Chain A
Amino acid sequence: MVFGVTSRKPPILVVTAATYPILLSNLLAAVRAVDDQYMILARSLGATKLQELTYFILPGIVPYLAGASRAAIGIALRISVVAEAFGASGGVGYWLVYSYDYGYREGVFAWAWILIILMIALDLLILKPIERWSTKWKLEK
């Protein structure tokens, strides 16, 4: 939507398809990596399976998921720009290819710069701070 795509379905489908495998594989690895000691603590306190999940496993995997989400969103953005270039009627990818097709060199550079700045800004101003916030306890541990 940020990139001006006129239909909501393509970006949602593209983002889902691009991020699902990365998030799923990281989720599985994160669950395996949850410290066994936390499970010993959970059992010694008589936690139910649902309580184990809520209080011990889910908070423990947040740092892994935050890192994976950052990577996945980066990939999804690149893919959606390519998708816009070939199958949309708006957005950075569309305008970049449109400018190229009509030999409008300044337009190509302008849209390329917009794309680069948007991706860096998204990563540095939004995704990275979220990752740092969610992994604070893990970094300082």
Chain B
Amino acid sequence: MEAGEVAVKIENLTKYYGQEKILDSITLTVKQGEAVGIAGPNGAGKSTLLRIIAGLEPPTQGKVIVRGRVGYVPQEVILLPWRTLRGNILLAAKLRKIPRHRAEEVIRWGARLLGLEEYLNKRPYQVSGGTRRKTQILMALATDPEILLLDEPFTGLDRDTITALQKAIDRMRRSENLTIIIVSHMIDEILPIVDKLYILTHKPARIKEILE
């Protein structure tokens, strides 16, 4: 996929949970290599939108077109406690049928970039929340994605870790030509690393404003 081509296209997306309307006629386009932020209050439906883009939930109405492999980083850090951090990352790559040597390569540069090298052989309960979150991001990267979906990647992290992670995400995006969609309830955290910011209203979420 070439830069400038459409990577994600969402048209009139509406989502209901039972009778409750969560997303209302969302339309947005993300081009290849672009970093897009989606901000809005807690409970607005940002995570639902991201899960629909990731293909984990179906939309009630509307169309979602995703061109390229998707790497999804959920809001809750989910790592298998019986595996080391390296074991978790390699499992993600294996399930996505990424060759072992390619996964090892991603672990090498990704761990250096994210400052994870010394923790790779530890288990999730032996490391900090920030390290676990970085591992989750590296897990998604090991699946060789073209589109990276990050759900509240800075939640629960201290200022220094947030700054380091922002830099790492920005560098990864440029070096791997990734398309990135980041969802957060805190605009300040995502503003420095996105090209375009969509602001959603509270339930049902509609696009209120687009900042470029």
Contact = CB atoms under 8 A, between A and B. Distances in A.
B17 interface: no
Contact of B78 (A37, A47, A51, A55): A37
Interface residues of B, number: 17
Contact of B95 (A47, A138, A140, A141): A47
A55 B123 contact: no
B92 interface: yes
A82 to B, nearest CB: 38
The residue among B82, B91, B96, B126 with the most chain A CB atoms within 10 A of its own CB is B82
Given A45-B143, A55-B91, A137 B82 contact: yes
A36 to B, nearest CB: 10
A37 B95 contact: no
A40 interface: yes
Contacts of B82: 59-60, 62, 137
Contacts of A40: 56, 74, 78
Contacts of A56: 80
Interface residues of A, number: 20
Interface of A: 37-38, 40-47, 51, 55-56, 59-60, 62, 137-138, 140-141
B92 A141 contact: no
A63 B143 CA distance: 29
Nearest to B126: A140
A37 B132 CA distance: 15
Given A43-B56, A45-B96, A45-B143, A140 B125 contact: yes
A141 B81 contact: yes
Contacts of B78: 37-38, 40-41
Contacts of B123: 137, 140
B76 interface: yes
A137 B81 contact: yes
